[in-house]
Structure 1
Amino acid sequence: MQLFSKQSPFYNLAIFYLFVSIITRIVLLFHPITQTSFTFFDSIKIFFLGLISDAFVFVVASALLWIYLLFLSNSKFNKPWGYIIFGFFIALLLYVLSGKSILHEYGGSLPEIGISFIALKTILFGLMLFLPKYRSKIRFALYSLTLFIFVLIIIQNGISEYFFWNEFGVRYNFIAVDYLVYTNTVIGNIMESYPVVPLFIGVGILALIFTILIVKKSKNYLDELPNFLDKIKNFGVYIVLFLISIIAIPNLAKLQNSSNVFTNELQSNGLYKFYLAFMNSELDYNKFYKTLPENEAFALLKNQIPTISRESTSRDIKSNTIENHKNVVLITIESYSAEFLKTYGNDQGITPFIDSLATKSLLFSNLYAVGNRTVRGLEAVTLCFPPTAGESIVKRVDNKNKFSTGSIFKKRGYAVKYLYGGDAFFDNMEDFFAGNGYDIVDKKTLKPEEITFSNVWGVCDEDMANKAIKVMNEESKTGKPFFNHWMTVSNHRPFTYPDGKIDISGSAKSREGGVKYTDYALGKFFAMAKKQSWFKNTIFVIVADHCASSSGKTELPVDKYRIPAMIYAPGFIEPKRYTNLMSQIDLMPTLFGLLNFNYQSKFYGQDVLKSDYKPRALIATYQDLGLIKDNVLTIISPVRKAKQFQLTLQPKGGLNTDFQLFYEQKPLAKERLDLINETISYYQTASYLLKKKKYQK
């Protein structure tokens, strides 16, 4: 059982990981931010139970190391297996180099990464195959490099946990997940905040020293590699340990039940906390953000939504005229920034159809997306709910039976569907929409003859447009009204689409091409829709899910949240322009107002055409939660921070005031406490309603 002997790298790395974990706990225990005292029992939990948890976490986290060690072998270079394996690597490399692999389909830097990795693997295997007398030296070099990488990761994780604790006073949570999403911003912040070069040099030297020690202790492992029978035994033992660890880790986490929060945090394992944060997708609002007394927060919210009562957003929406049960088609367009449209000053001519449709629609010229991911946009138009801290509700476990736009239509006998050109399993969309009463029409439901072009994200928007027309034709035969929500996919990397449709080749893989092809496909959809019997009795709502890019000079660059939105219903809704500030969450409640729906609402979104609407917009990342109002952007973020920026328009010549996009964001000279409290009221109450399950249908 060489893999588990004291000379094995697995054993030595485990000891090293536990050593670093103990040192990390001691450092965090005596950190100035840990302002509490611990009982003897607390100390036992922190170090004894914590160490056991660390050991189990290492077993799971070291799976890749175990696989690497398992495949160390001399026999695989014997004839004919060595040549077969080498031939496989050559074939795989040629496939990736052909430019037709799935890596190339996705685009970006993925093909280069894939080619580099496979080429390196092929070269190294070839050297070890054809130069057997150098095989042991090459293997030793690769073995040492592998151990160095694992040692470096262990040390880097310990240091990262220190800095995270230094800022937030907890182990990893969803903020750490957020940091992986916004890598560029985080790296920039680190570069400005810490002496990065000396720190990295120090970490590198430490990693090198400990790697040398571990290599010296375990180098005999390479001289006596396990035979096949030993590997089978090792495999069995590791699998048993792995399964025990999978069961033990969450059960040990349940023992983190002290009334002392610091005891629980120090007892926990940072890697497991990171995993939980990633899976649960939530960030405790009350723990990390500025708060108000609950009744005060709802009282402030009532100033914005006057008809709500008590600690809820429930209110009666009344109309003076009869309800109009027209069909509704909601189209959310992938990554469609307002700045793509000619209306907003773009001179590339890439949105001719949408520009034309805007002149025939009720156009909302000053509307902001709530976030910068598709699931945030879907959440906004489906739940009409603020973007709470952490991941979108779409991706959370508790995402079903919510008060939604679909539930409003369902109560009126509408057929309710979600249409998506890809696999709706992606981003948890299928689970979310099915769990809220929508029927799903996605790529899986298309017949082979209905697909003319597809890429890694799904069928092209034309194919889905054709499918949507078929679905709506069938629905119209039932005599029931329908509500269909179609999410487009073509304006997404790798920006590939059928050639010959627009004047930008699909092989160019350009953002401009993706934008223009989506515009073309929407034009085709509406051309087909106008020929159908149901067209005159249908309202079309068109809105982007988010902008194409979210990065900027500030945490929340407002121009990166401005999106096009319009409601099109010739003969029913008069073409005009609504210019007041509004949010993505207001779009569907405004539509319900146009349809004269009478219902009890829980929406935070409001009918912006009503006289009591007060202009504002909510925008956010996973942790920075913002409110735009009175030309001020207020941002609340962990840990209980608040920032405010004066928004000063930077006008672009020759462009109508309603379509100006760019603002200078300067720190506010004098704090507007009223706006800070209003921002808190939106996000705190939203978090409260979710936590208390008061946003169910």
Structure 2
Amino acid sequence: MKRLTPFKTVLVFAAITLVILSISRLYLSILYFERIGSFPELLGILFQGVRVDLIIASYLYLIPMLVSIWLSGKLGARLTSALIKPWLCLALVLSVFMELVTPEFILEYDIRPNRLFIDYLGYPREVFGMLWEGYKPAIFLAVFGVLVIVISARKLLSRVSTETGSFSTMQKVCLTFIIFVVGVAAARSSLQHRPFNPAMVYYSNDNLVNSLMLNSTYSVLYAAYNTGSEEQAADLYGRMRPQEIIEAVQESAAIDNQPFLSKDIPTLRFHPASYQGAPKNIVILLQESLGARYVGSLGGEDLTPNLDALMPQGWVFNHAYATGTRSVRGIEAVFTGFSPGPSRSVVKLNKSQSGFFSLASLLKRHDYHTQFIYGGESHFDNMKSFFLGNGVDDIRDLSTFDEPRFVGSWGASDQDLYAEAHKQFVKLDKASRPFFSLVFTTSNHTPWEYPDNCPAAYSGNRQSRENAIRYADCALGEFIRKAKASDYWKDTLFLIIADHDSRVQGSDMVPIDHFRIPALILGAGVAPKVDARLVSQIDFPTTLLSLAGISDAHPMLGFDLTRAVPRSKQRAPIQYGENYSWLSADHAVVLRPKLPARVYAHDGNKLLEQLDNQQYEGEINRTKANALWSNLAYSKGFYRNAR
């Protein structure tokens, strides 16, 4: 009937959306069938996926469907053309576009588009440059797909008559009520107190497999909804009283008799330095995306001959683990010593933009010059705001470099970065004042752009991660050789450490082999040795202060690795998506959102057999407390400098 025309059009677009989402899910499921494991599980994913697709279809099409019921006459025809048709076209384009970009996103991050996708939207220049250089086929596919959908949608809509009949008022009211109830029920997709959330359909230890049941539009919108929430941990893992959290966290961190000094800063303790001489300079060389699996001396691929040659010259840690999968998480760990949690890194959160504890803010009290050197634009990921608000005096980024020789999508090459760092260190050394510098590399980042003037054993496709690692390693070796010949070498501690591994992925709840990273302390009287202890990124700020001769009170929970750490205390906290793991020497506790914890044996690279939770109740409680600590400390202002 004519009067049903707008209503039927909305239904047609909703049906097309559902079909496209199901086809995309089927394609991805076939592509990753090996990780799904069986045909019945595949059917389960497709069935649950329809449920999620109905949710997103309700969000996208419920309002135009309700509006279309009330359209009638000439005004209804005009509103159909002006509002309903564009809405339908945009909703369909959004769904198709998100599915078209999903395969490349999964290839890079091993999960559907999520909060990371939203974070990157804030930096269009850097991201578009990266995409254009490294993902041209994906860009062309997405653009082509969107154009096809737009043209097809317009053709379909052109056949829709804008003439409308008239429902009686009672018919409109009844239809509105029925459609509203059905739409809301589909959007909630649950008869429980709370509406649907992804945990209701998750069943696998593999995050990718779980995410296949979603669609990418829903995944991104759900992430956007949760981005505004900075206190998620208790909702994910269950609640504990604040005092319970504090006591468990204090017990986890205590390895000596130093008392906790303040109720207002619960983790504040005095940390005596193991070195008692004149303060040393501290330089952290934060390596982009360098997992242990690429480092030959750590049992990985033979891609880092310069770093491997440096290992016997310093204090090398064979079992060091990153706290997360993002650069800002690595910065959070090595710059502030703050523990990871399910919220965004404190680098990006509002309450931590000033007055938050950092190495720089502590070292300023000891008359250090504090500095951040980065080859890109320092505003990226909110780094500039965070550093300036928390103790960094001097930021050197691409805009301050003198004629860099090579600039790619993410900024100046590592050679240009190290040239700037060397220039700065020479100048600061002449000022006879100790300095702290965080030097953050970029060349080992997709789309893997680098110059030709650093000789390395490149092979195969030049624009590949393997060759980018070879280049970054070559630039590092070149810098260290120059630093050794300089006057500042004898007074400087260098920490070479990765921010995270690249492309963290795997079928485990937490693929721990992808969190193992290289960590090496060089220079200023550091005796060569191999350390086999299990350590975390959060241990290195405390250790550097001790090696540099800085005795002071601070709230960091990391261990001073110059001292003995009992095997029972060794741990590595890891945040992997919404899963939180407390990796200890003998086992790993894994917290999952809204599900019971699990305990596994591990070999340092992989989770092994599941263990009996009843035997590890204390460890589960400790893990939960540490997972909740980051939100508690952030929201209550517990993590700050002592006055």
TM over 0.5: yes
Alignment of 1:306-345 (within 5 A): 306=254, 307-308=259-260, 312-319=266-273, 322-345=276-299
Q: 1:516/1:271 Cα in 2 relative to 1: closer, same or farther (>3 Å)?
A: closer
- Segments of structure 2 that go 5 or more residues without pairing to the other structure are 15-61, 68-82, 91-125, 161-179
Aligned-partner residue type, residue 114 of structure 1: I
Determine the structure 2 residue equivalent to 1:674.
Answer: 618
SS of the residue corresponding to residue 387 of structure 1 reads: coil
Determine the structure 2 residue equivalent to 1:116.
Answer: 141
Determine the structure 2 residue equivalent to 1:470.
Answer: 423
C-alpha distance in 1, partners of 2:273/2:153?
A: 79
Aligned-partner residue type, residue 617 of structure 1: A
Render the CA deviation track for 1:462-502: whole Å, top value 9, x for unaligned: 01111111222222232211111011111111112112532
C-alpha distance in 1, partners of 2:84/2:430?
A: 56
Aligned-partner residue type, residue 411 of structure 1: R
Q: 1:598/1:155 Cα in 2 relative to 1: closer, same or farther (>3 Å)?
A: farther
C-alpha distance in 1, partners of 2:500/2:232?
A: 25
Q: Is 1:372–2:397 an aligned residue pair?
A: no
Structure 2-normalised TM-score? Answer: 0.69
What's the offset of the Cα at 1:584?
A: 0.6
C-alpha distance in 1, partners of 2:84/2:586?
A: 52
Aligned-partner residue type, residue 356 of structure 1: A
What's the offset of the Cα at 1:505?
A: 6.4
Contact 1:466/1:525, CA 8 A, preserved across alignment? yes
Alignment of 1:525-544 (within 5 A): 525-544=479-498
What's the offset of the Cα at 1:562?
A: 0.6
Q: Is 1:140–2:155 an aligned residue pair?
A: yes
Q: 1:65/1:427 Cα in 2 relative to 1: closer, same or farther (>3 Å)?
A: farther
Render the CA deviation track for 1:571-600: whole Å, top value 9, x for unaligned: x11011111111110011011112232111
Aligned-partner residue type, residue 646 of structure 1: A
Contact 1:499/1:505, CA 8 A, preserved across alignment? no
Contact 1:368/1:617, CA 8 A, preserved across alignment? yes
What's the offset of the Cα at 1:522?
A: 0.5
Render the CA deviation track for 1:223-242: whole Å, top value 9, x for unaligned: xxxxxxxxxxxxxxxxxxxx
Q: 1:602/1:141 Cα in 2 relative to 1: closer, same or farther (>3 Å)?
A: same
Alignment of 1:186-265 (within 5 A): 186=207, 188-189=209-210
What's the offset of the Cα at 1:328?
A: 1.2
C-alpha distance in 1, partners of 2:241/2:480?
A: 50
SS of the residue corresponding to residue 331 of structure 1 reads: strand
Contact 2:534/2:572, CA 8 A, preserved across alignment? yes
Render the CA deviation track for 1:600-626: whole Å, top value 9, x for unaligned: 110011212323552111111232111
Aligned-partner residue type, residue 680 of structure 1: K
C-alpha distance in 1, partners of 2:583/2:337?
A: 17
Determine the structure 2 residue equivalent to 1:561.
Answer: 515
SS of the residue corresponding to residue 366 of structure 1 reads: strand
Aligned-partner residue type, residue 482 of structure 1: F
What's the offset of the Cα at 1:337?
A: 0.8
C-alpha distance in 1, partners of 2:182/2:286?
A: 41
Determine the structure 1 residue equivalent to 2:71.
Answer: none
Contact 2:286/2:441, CA 8 A, preserved across alignment? yes
Aligned-partner residue type, residue 113 of structure 1: A
C-alpha distance in 2, partners of 1:664/1:485?
A: 33
Q: Is 1:584–2:534 an aligned residue pair?
A: no
C-alpha distance in 2, partners of 1:160/1:358?
A: 58
- The equivalent position to 2:239 in structure 1, one of 274, 283, 291, is 291
SS of the residue corresponding to residue 579 of structure 1 reads: strand
Render the CA deviation track for 1:639-675: whole Å, top value 9, x for unaligned: 153111111x3xxxxxxxxxxx533422114531111
Render the CA deviation track for 1:193-239: whole Å, top value 9, x for unaligned: x7x9xxx9xxxxxxxxxxxxxxxxxxxxxxxxxxxxxxxxxxxxxxx
Determine the structure 1 residue equivalent to 2:389.
Answer: 435
Q: 1:68/1:553 Cα in 2 relative to 1: closer, same or farther (>3 Å)?
A: closer
Contact 2:493/2:548, CA 8 A, preserved across alignment? no
Determine the structure 2 residue equivalent to 1:637.
Answer: 592
Which 10-residue stretch deviates more, 360-369 or 284-293? 284-293
- The equivalent position to 1:619 in structure 2, one of 566, 574, 581, is 574
- The equivalent position to 2:188 in structure 1, one of 150, 159, 162, is 162
Contact 1:103/1:114, CA 8 A, preserved across alignment? no
Q: 1:538/1:159 Cα in 2 relative to 1: closer, same or farther (>3 Å)?
A: farther
Render the CA deviation track for 1:235-277: whole Å, top value 9, x for unaligned: xxxxxxxxxxxxxxxxxxxxxxxxxxxxxxxxxx999875353
Aligned-partner residue type, residue 606 of structure 1: F
Q: 1:506/1:308 Cα in 2 relative to 1: closer, same or farther (>3 Å)?
A: farther
Q: Is 1:510–2:445 an aligned residue pair?
A: no
What's the offset of the Cα at 1:161?
A: 4.8
Q: 1:620/1:548 Cα in 2 relative to 1: closer, same or farther (>3 Å)?
A: same
Aligned-partner residue type, residue 277 of structure 1: N
SS of the residue corresponding to residue 551 of structure 1 reads: coil
C-alpha distance in 1, partners of 2:182/2:519?
A: 45
Aligned-partner residue type, residue 668 of structure 1: L
SS of the residue corresponding to residue 542 of structure 2 reads: helix
Aligned-partner residue type, residue 188 of structure 2: Y
Q: 1:530/1:621 Cα in 2 relative to 1: closer, same or farther (>3 Å)?
A: same
C-alpha distance in 2, partners of 1:508/1:635?
A: 39
Aligned-partner residue type, residue 237 of structure 2: Y
Determine the structure 2 residue equivalent to 1:32.
Answer: none
Contact 2:376/2:410, CA 8 A, preserved across alignment? yes
Aligned-partner residue type, residue 399 of structure 1: S
C-alpha distance in 1, partners of 2:539/2:148?
A: 58
Alignment of 1:411-490 (within 5 A): 411-438=365-392, 439-447=394-402, 449=403, 451-490=404-443
Contact 2:356/2:640, CA 8 A, preserved across alignment? yes
Aligned-partner residue type, residue 299 of structure 1: E
SS of the residue corresponding to residue 394 of structure 1 reads: coil
SS of the residue corresponding to residue 534 of structure 1 reads: helix
SS of the residue corresponding to residue 365 of structure 1 reads: strand
What's the offset of the Cα at 1:287?
A: 2.7
C-alpha distance in 2, partners of 1:64/1:516?
A: 53
Q: Is 1:361–2:310 an aligned residue pair?
A: no
- The equivalent position to 1:277 in structure 2, one of 187, 212, 226, is 226
Structure 1-normalised TM-score? Answer: 0.64
Contact 2:342/2:577, CA 8 A, preserved across alignment? yes
Alignment of 1:70-85 (within 5 A): none
Aligned-partner residue type, residue 260 of structure 2: I
- The equivalent position to 1:493 in structure 2, one of 446, 464, 468, is 446
What's the offset of the Cα at 1:168?
A: 9.4
Q: 1:601/1:121 Cα in 2 relative to 1: closer, same or farther (>3 Å)?
A: closer
Determine the structure 2 residue equivalent to 1:601.
Answer: 554
- Segments of structure 1 that go 5 or more residues without pairing to the other structure are 1-5, 18-49, 56-61, 70-100, 129-136, 146-153, 201-268, 650-660
C-alpha distance in 1, partners of 2:475/2:183?
A: 47
C-alpha distance in 2, partners of 1:63/1:536?
A: 71
C-alpha distance in 2, partners of 1:11/1:416?
A: 64
Alignment of 1:59-138 (within 5 A): 65=86, 106=131, 110-118=135-143
Q: 1:122/1:166 Cα in 2 relative to 1: closer, same or farther (>3 Å)?
A: closer
Runs of 4+ in structure 1 off by over 4 angstroms are 6-14, 66-69, 101-105, 117-125, 142-145, 154-161, 165-168, 170-173, 183-187, 269-274
Render the CA deviation track for 1:25-83: whole Å, top value 9, x for unaligned: xxxxxxxxxxxxxxxxxxxxxxxxx999x99xxxxxx99946979xxxxxxxxxxxxxx
Q: 1:479/1:663 Cα in 2 relative to 1: closer, same or farther (>3 Å)?
A: same
RMSD of aligned Cα (Å):
4.2
Q: Which has the larger radius of gyration?
A: 1
Q: 1:602/1:10 Cα in 2 relative to 1: closer, same or farther (>3 Å)?
A: farther
